[in-house]
Structure 1
């Protein structure tokens, strides 16, 4: 980077060498300030950004009053970008569309005719198809523009003038809110109820330290809804100007007869597009993330009506809605960032009371400027009226001067001590004004003007009178936007509610008994009801396949599947295929390698702890909650040594205090359960040692009850050995031959 060492000034338009970083920072600073002050942040005094102000000003000059007809939006946009706002027509039209949307603005400033978009998120029609005019709210906001109440500035090309801000008594910043992203800062202000804001403003006039929250309860969104935050949270947000509000949909339950019901949504949170909201709820149903919801229907016409149909009549309505509040945009957080431009055009974050006080101060400035403007108008008129009265008192002489003098104006000024304006006005009088009645009307007008002048001078000289006048004017505006009017009634309910409960998936599933059946080839299914052991023989399997594991469960259960590589997988019982066919391969539900065998399948709630053991005799105790996997890939719990594999997974009963292990070499070993380490994952400790072969089976039991096993044959008898002293030893021993009658397959 070269530095300019030549001190002579460069010619305009000629290149110069400057450090790149300083050139970049200077230019970016200009851009940032322009974005902040002239594009993205609203003024605290009228709540408008320049594009909105210019739109309304252009419509006012086009005489698009509420009593007049509509005009094409293309005409308005053309005037705005041609005279005041040299930006793209699309951005200007988008701003105009938002001013007309009843679901975007609490008090719309533009009355649109045609397609201006909808709450579903559809765009407005092109500006050649739509028409618009101003609303009464916009008229109130611009009231006083012709009375020198605000400053005007030249437009960008210097051909016209535009107001720097609007003077009206409508509290637009807080009533309609604002949103914008500038450079390094942003603003997001919710809409409020105008009548509440005016009440708070009146309180501030009487007491600058008044608590505005006595009147402003919270946001008042055009789409209604419910603000469910506690009063303390709302107060904190308004005090600092930063925070957020939880906005929840309004709903009610409708009975459909025979015990069935549906939930009907009638109001949705502000800023949420209804079409996308319904798509998101439908996705929850399709993805089975909300099993207790069966269907969602949009029955909206002019009013919103979203119907939610539960899966069964036994579903709890509040549980359903709490789930939807957590999983969808039926409840959202609306951020508050009350960042505005103050009267010095400086961006800063204000509290609610401070912003309202700044608006009230501006209204007093407007009141004084309008009063001064009216006094100047009265002085001008009194000057002319005084001249007219002199003319009437000396009518014959005035007529004679006009008829005889070549230049009557200076003669009249000298003879009657008239000013230039008075003499010019007399000369421009019509003959029909020379009636006797006109003289009486002039004297009456002079008296009225003198009286009004005296009152206005008293108003300017007394702050108390100004406060009284301001409260009276605000009272008139409040009548138009009072809570008894359709436009002014509060739409958003402020009602504290607890955060939506996190409903476990099990609570959303209808609890039903099932029997889980797993075949040796890994096909799984779930039969409805708990099947008796004698009925299991009637189950059908694919050719060459047979039952491997069967057990009763509930549809709300989580099932733990253990593979011989020590990895555990979790299955949802309600997602299992039905029992009419052969089921489905369990490998379609989890990422289980094809060469891996299934060791165990059981409900996750079968026991709090599990005993896992590998074929080399190593094992440990693990909590059941630690083996639950959240993904298809499962969770690696046991890491068998080379050449070994997971052999046994057994639930541990709470009263169990001993472990019995038997190897392929038919050696039995009994030792205390306390000697087995409790781990979350790993290889474990040596439960039993072997010279040849490995571990065949292991289980836990209660020493006082003895060790039991099932006898062979069809009798199904169980034998119990209570004296286990010959086999009791420390963990890791080899063991000795089992009692007489122990099963030949070495399995308990």
Structure 2
């Protein structure tokens, strides 16, 4: 058997790989942008939707006609215009029929076309469809040479490159798509408002965005919801063509008796699947990430009705909903990216005014082409009618020529100076049409068409008349879809997002008492409840208790390190009480040669006195020491041979300091500077040794400390006069009975 190739011999042509890839990828990108993903600004449709609607029209599926199987429609579309998968075509068809997905549906579906829960439509063999009135308006005049046609994919048929679009579909129904290197996302709007803006733009072509946004205040989603985006952001989005809108579910409080209540959600954000939303909230509930919520259930029928039960009747409804808006799809952000095809060729991002203006320009072009088409038809008809009138005036001669001449057409043209069109029309006359009544009707029709021709010529010669005609069409559309109608009423409302004084981050954590244990070697854990007896605590070998802090799971734990840095830990994120906990150094970035000097629960209203062993310090508001990262926040600057030693609450009007040399000094708090960061000022001078401790107290209450046995001693001001002085003095030897540790005792209780 011969091994010779059956293919004709060819000489390989060398091709640069880079150039070949660039050329092919550019062709693919242009095809995706222009013929698949981006809508045309004129009719707001992508090619697949345009082909579906045109195929349905060719099948005679008007709004007043019967339904046909969707399988037939899909087959017609795929065979004649859109050579892609039938499932893709059916998905696009089904979406045009979903009143929860499309603001003004273009397809009137009969059967199961899916639902807001996310269930898929039934197979195309089970569903039927026809065009809606809105779709009919998009197609109106397509047989009157109003738009250009182009060959279909195999050249056997002709398809429209754009629809006449007597309906502002791009903004009314919106669009979404992802092309190569670009995308589009346009929300639906209210047609009544769009028509008001169009009428204003016709009168004032240079209208400002601010004026147009007064008439089109924002999107109008088919599923309703509440728009909480600030007006300034909406203005900027419509001005640039890019932005976004915060959309929330609509809810109301419903009393259940005996002081109880439940939240009823009646509208959910656009494109959120209700079943998945309920499932997600239930998961968060199980994971205890929604401590304010007790239960959720779906009582929806034809209308959305989600029931949210608070955990207790004391939970504020506003705070409960704000927590849900933060963690669930009860609030979404719908992006705006008005990237569309201008003139079917140029992808660009347009402002609101540009989109409206280009739609109006398209309607002017459709009006001119339609008028020219009608004018040609009238002139042709008038030419025929002129021939008929000649025939009626010379009926006997015409009959003679037809009966006896060998070439009656040529003889008629020669005898009466007729055109070929007129001669053919006369020869095709029926005998019945030779009655006197027909002659009268022809004259009446001639007069009527002559008047219409004059009107069309005036229309084509006057821009003002053309804009007046477009205004009439827009007003008619506004009347059909006014807010007084069921389809035209505005569904999405506007509101300002409420200002919540409560810390929502804390509100989202279930509040429970805990005791935080920090050991000498830096192991941290959180025991449930407030523990008073800590004698049974177990530690690693060689380790022991250092700090025990009673707190709530909603608190923040503040750690003050010897390098002058403050670290912040969320109490609810600390390891549990089982075992020995975890090293705190895994949670914060603290050098190995540094240690912790204080551990306490954060109080944002409190002030702190911080000081170093060198005797320098200052007062800092506790709200300024919160750290947002693992690295902590540097507050007290310390010298290389010193370390941060003191961090005590400021609760009083005097300060007492004590050093290693057992010298104590008492001075007014007013002498200490308040700062947010720095070295501070000298509090007490030392010839040798260092600052060990400090305390802020009220002069009228006296100075208190704890001895080694845990007993409390208090010295009144009369007994403290000996140690009273000014800041930066050396002080005097501590009072009799002062602890050998040179410390006043725990600063935080």
- Aligned partner (choices 561, 578, 584) of residue 585 of structure 1: 578
Which residue is 2:122 aligned to? 125
Residues 326 and 500, structure 1, Cα contact 8 Å, conserved in 2: no
Which residue is 1:252 aligned to? 252
Deviates further, 162-171 or 269-278: 269-278
Residues 558 and 572, structure 1, Cα contact 8 Å, conserved in 2: yes
Is the alpha carbon distance of 1:268 and 1:12 closer, same or farther for their aligned partners in structure 2, counting shifts above 3 Å?
farther
- Aligned partner (choices 153, 158, 161) of residue 156 of structure 1: 153
- Aligned partner (choices 72, 76, 81) of residue 84 of structure 1: 81
- Aligned partner (choices 90, 97, 100) of residue 97 of structure 2: 100
Residues 618 and 672, structure 2, Cα contact 8 Å, conserved in 1: no
Deviates further, 117-126 or 551-560: 551-560
2:182 is aligned with 1:189: no
Which residue is 2:162 aligned to? 165
Which residue is 2:278 aligned to? 278
Which residue is 2:223 aligned to? 223
Which residue is 2:602 aligned to? 604
C-alpha separation in 2, matches of 1:442 and 1:195? 43
2:59 is aligned with 1:62: yes
Deviation at 1:171, TM superposition (A): 1.0
Deviation at 1:452, TM superposition (A): 1.8
Question: What are the equivalent positions in structure 2 for 1:508-547 lying under 5 Å apart?
Answer: 508=507, 525=527
Which residue is 2:456 aligned to? 456
C-alpha separation in 2, matches of 1:281 and 1:621? 48
Is the alpha carbon distance of 1:724 and 1:19 closer, same or farther for their aligned partners in structure 2, counting shifts above 3 Å?
farther
Which residue is 2:202 aligned to? 205
Deviation at 1:189, TM superposition (A): 1.9
Is the alpha carbon distance of 1:174 and 1:575 closer, same or farther for their aligned partners in structure 2, counting shifts above 3 Å?
closer
C-alpha separation in 1, matches of 2:538 and 2:375? 108
Secondary structure in structure 1 of the residue aligned to 2:120:
coil
Question: What are the equivalent positions in structure 2 for 1:210-609 lying under 5 Å apart?
Answer: 210=207, 211-343=211-343, 345-405=345-405, 407-495=407-495, 497-498=496-497, 501=500, 503-505=502-504, 508=507, 525=527, 556-559=554-557, 584-585=577-578, 587=580, 602-605=600-603, 608-609=607-608
Deviates further, 35-44 or 540-549: 540-549
Is the alpha carbon distance of 1:573 and 1:217 closer, same or farther for their aligned partners in structure 2, counting shifts above 3 Å?
closer
TM-score, scaled relative to structure 1: 0.78
RMSD (Å), alpha carbons: 5.1
C-alpha separation in 2, matches of 1:621 and 1:303? 63
C-alpha separation in 2, matches of 1:544 and 1:240? 64
C-alpha separation in 2, matches of 1:113 and 1:557? 57
Which residue is 1:642 aligned to? none
Residues 515 and 550, structure 1, Cα contact 8 Å, conserved in 2: no
Is the alpha carbon distance of 1:289 and 1:408 closer, same or farther for their aligned partners in structure 2, counting shifts above 3 Å?
same
Is the alpha carbon distance of 1:275 and 1:561 closer, same or farther for their aligned partners in structure 2, counting shifts above 3 Å?
farther
C-alpha separation in 2, matches of 1:588 and 1:551? 15
- Structure 2 residue ranges without an equivalent (≥5): 1-7, 587-594, 637-642, 745-749
Deviation at 1:357, TM superposition (A): 1.4
C-alpha separation in 1, matches of 2:430 and 2:583? 101
Residues 608 and 647, structure 2, Cα contact 8 Å, conserved in 1: no
Which residue is 1:5 aligned to? none
CA deviations on 1:101-159 (whole Å, 9 max, x unpaired) are: 22222111112223333333333333333322211111001101111111111112110
C-alpha separation in 2, matches of 1:522 and 1:91? 57
Deviation at 1:436, TM superposition (A): 3.4
Residues 70 and 132, structure 1, Cα contact 8 Å, conserved in 2: yes
Residues 525 and 576, structure 1, Cα contact 8 Å, conserved in 2: no
Size of the aligned set, in residue pairs, is 712
Residues 524 and 583, structure 2, Cα contact 8 Å, conserved in 1: no
Secondary structure in structure 1 of the residue aligned to 2:217:
coil
Is the alpha carbon distance of 1:723 and 1:260 closer, same or farther for their aligned partners in structure 2, counting shifts above 3 Å?
closer
C-alpha separation in 2, matches of 1:320 and 1:63? 53
C-alpha separation in 2, matches of 1:185 and 1:170? 26
C-alpha separation in 2, matches of 1:475 and 1:81? 37
Residues 482 and 488, structure 1, Cα contact 8 Å, conserved in 2: yes
Deviation at 1:710, TM superposition (A): 4.9
Is the alpha carbon distance of 1:268 and 1:502 closer, same or farther for their aligned partners in structure 2, counting shifts above 3 Å?
farther
